[in-house]
Chains A and B, each alone.
Chain A
Amino acid sequence: MHKHNPEELDFSRRSFLRFGSNAAVGVWLSTHWTACLTAAEEAAADFAESADYSFLNTHQAASLDAVSAQILPTTDTPGAREAGVVNFFDKALNSHAAFALEPLNGWISALDAEADKRQSGSAFYQLDDHLQKEILTEQQDSGGFGLMRFLTLVGMFAMSKYGGNRNNIGWELLGFDHRHAWQPPFGYYDAQLSRQGDEA
């Protein structure tokens, strides 16, 4: 297990704070890449479809599941849940994205407090879809949401060796076909041009 030195952790938190309020472009995780590769190897080794998480507790897992499934819901196509995004969180928050654990825990507590106001005694993940959406809409400009969204997208669209994007579900959603090599034509318009060329 890679250990972050305190300076790196500090730096990561600064990154989070800086980008947390600006969820638009580039929430750049700032752990260095060897940590990332180590994590990837661990994730690959641990990869399992089981719902038993090695790091997250039940409450964290249920909360991250609920929010990520709101960000990329299951519709007529698979979403974050089917892609195993919580499995990604389970690996990431224990390694390359460890800096995000505390901010996310704090943010989940805030979501739970909002949930309790609306439905006494309930955690966010226990609310119905409508109430979850209501709270997240209020939260969508917050740093916690920005961080959560970024990590959800990584879990959905990064290589499956990181623990998410199970069976390349995220890539299939986009239509991104990962191959080692391609040959022309690459898309509709160059194919059309080459057909015209052939006919002429």
Chain B
Amino acid sequence: MSNTTFATRKAVDFVIVGSGSAGGVLARELSQAGMDVVVLEQGPYLRAPDFHHDEFSVIFQNEMLSGVTKGDPQTFRRSENEQAQIQDQPPIAFYARMVGGSSAHFTGNYWRFRPVDFKEKSLLGGIEGTGFTDWPISYDDLEPYYTKVDWEVGVSGVPGPNEPPRSKPYPVPPLPVKSSGVLLEKGARKLGLNPQPAPMAILSQPYNGRPGCIHCGFCIGFGCEVNAKSSTLATMIPQAEASGHCEVRPDSTVIRLETNDKGLVNEVVYRDAEGNEQAQKAKMVIVAANGAETPRLLLLSESSRFPDGLANASGKVGKYLMFNGHSAAHGVFTEPLNEYKSVQVTRIVMDYYNSDPKRGFYGGGGIDARPLLQSYPIFYAMAGLPPDAPTWGAEYKQMLADYYLRNMLVTGNSTSLPVESNNVTLDPEQKDQWGRPSLRITYHDHPDDLNMMKFLQERSAAILDAAGAEKIWTPEVVPQNLGAHLLGTCRMGTDPDESVINPLHRAHDVPNLYICDGSSLVTSGRGQPTMTIQALAFRAADNLIKSARAGELTTA
């Protein structure tokens, strides 16, 4: 627990809802600047010694997602005309519930967005039936904060041929290449592409008081046992607590934001670990609960003054949900790769980043080599073999033994268009254990997004072929029903009718309410959003601190 504690009845400078990628950064920056911060986190406070290599518990029992099966079901539908149904395991909004949020269980791909991502509509024109638009900020506005993420959070890498401009090198070199990286590089070069080392939020060597990666292989979906993964749990949160101005309250589920008669948010109501209702007074509130739970909380905080939900005069809260596109091509090589060892990704190919009208559809993305959950024994036995393989019996068993170490996966990571009918709403019938309406997600990938996934899957298969794979297969690209990237649902903009927050993350409608997480994104980028979420958080914090010192902040 935090050494610093604050009374609930005394208004702290900031309550931050959520301790993940954005919330952790904001907590650290604001508390180090001397402001009093209470972080409310719905999940438990686990630490490195609590983590382990138990695939059954973590992957199949949702250990890191604690809560989804504890009375908080989500519902899902493909279109707004359908009745949403409970989404069983895994939950559709797939995020870790714990201090550190999903940064604790993520893979750590830290691609920056590029200048094009912020002004693509101006460059390409609008896309009918979508909310595709430019950001109100540019890459240049964000670059200093990308660099801050590199250095403050800890990113391993080396600039490659397809990189946006950077003001400083990476703080530590790239992680050692795996066999899958060597093969990706070989295949890509044969095709005239330009592979490069992957930027990863996992330390390749000791840095900032943390050790380098020990290559245990239990990375995706798992918590890091040595704090080499640069989660906010390992980086920002302990630094925030050390400031003496930050209290992290785990097992605290925020159920509502209260506003005063001036329309300012002044109290955050939550359930504590025992299920008792508590309320923390606050001068200002930052919601950083992720792109699914942030809009849910705002919609739950409706009142006579804010009948459609807090900060929702635009009607855009929860709209334009984007998951990013994902595809995979499988290959088997002659010799063992041993993909179960070390980090997920060591090489990437960024040659298809830009949208190309010649393809006939909008979209861009990156390709990398990573085993995903197939590095783990149970998951591999469940789903790792080609579709023409038997699923039981002597031959099946023999194929498991023959293929496991020689398996390689090449994944495509790509754009999602912002479509208004892809969204987060409150389920009208389903409730959680506290009686709150459940998260209802409506999602169907835009046809261009599906085409981009297929395109990258074909290119991925071509790379495997060029690298010498002896067998290749590609699962059919189908509309997604799971999102680990939860983006766009409280988008940033200058027009209060078309966006939820201004370029400084302040809600258009509530002058002391700030929103900063995946929901702030205007476009989806090319499949790896966390680096940008954290750069936005550093930028938001920087502006808040400057405004606070100038006495310009509105407080309840």
Interface residues of A (CB under 8 A from B): 7-8, 11, 14-15, 18-19, 23-33, 36-37, 40, 70-73, 75, 77, 79, 96, 133, 136, 140, 149-150, 153-154, 156-159, 162, 170-171, 173-176, 178-193
Q: Which of B44-76 contact A (CB under 8 A)?
A: 53-57, 60-63, 66, 69-71, 73
Residues of A within 8 A of B341 (CB): 182, 186-187
13 contacts between A and B (CB under 8 A): A33-B61, A33-B63, A36-B61, A71-B396, A96-B61, A158-B56, A158-B378, A176-B404, A184-B176, A184-B342, A185-B179, A187-B179, A190-B182
Q: Which residues of A contact B179 (CB under 8 A)?
A: 185-191
| Chain B residues with CB below 8 A from A36, complex form | 56-57, 61, 63
User: Which residues of the partner chain A approach B53 to less than 8 Å between Cβ atoms?
Assistant: 159, 178
B214–A176 touching, CB < 8 Å: no
A19 to B88: give the CA distance in the assembly, Å. Answer: 9
In the complex, chain B residues whose CB is within 8 Å of the CB of A156: 381
Q: CA–CA, A32 to B142, complex, Å?
A: 41
A45 nearest CB across to chain B (Å): 17
In the complex, given contacts A33-B66, A184-B176, what are 5 additional A-B residue pairs having Cβ atoms less than 8 angstroms apart? A30-B69, A153-B381, A176-B377, A187-B180, A193-B182
User: When the two chains form their complex, are residues B73 and A11 in contact, meaning their CB atoms are under 8 A apart?
Assistant: yes
Docked complex: B10-42 residues within 8 A CB-CB of A:
none
Show the binding face of B for A, using Cβ within 8 Å: 53-57, 60-63, 66, 69-71, 73, 86, 88-90, 176-183, 214-217, 225, 333, 335-342, 377-378, 380-383, 391-394, 396-398, 400-401, 404-405
Which residues of chain B are within 8 angstroms of A171 by Cβ–Cβ distance?
377
Check if B377 sits within 8 Å of A180, measured CB to CB: no
Taking the closest CB of chain A, its distance from the CB of B356, in whole angstroms, is 31
A182 lies within 8 A of B69 (CB): no
Partner of A173, one of B391, B394, B400: B400
Closest B residue, CB atoms, query A80: B397
User: Which residues of B are found within 8 Å of A190, using beta-carbon distances?
Assistant: 176-179, 181-182
Residues in B whose Cβ lies below 8 Å from that of A188 = 179, 335-337
A11-B430 Cα distance, complex, nearest whole Å? 13
In the bound complex, CA of A185 to CA of B342 (Å): 10
Residue numbers in B under 8 Å from A72 (CB-CB)? 392, 396-397
A26 touches B89 (CB 8 A): yes
> Which A residues lie within 8 Å of B214 (CB)?
180-182
Specify which chain A residues have a CB less than 8 angstroms from the CB of B60 in the assembled complex: 28-29, 154
Chain B residues, CB < 8 A from A29:
60-61, 89
Contact of A133 among B61, B71, B393, B400 (CB under 8 A): B393
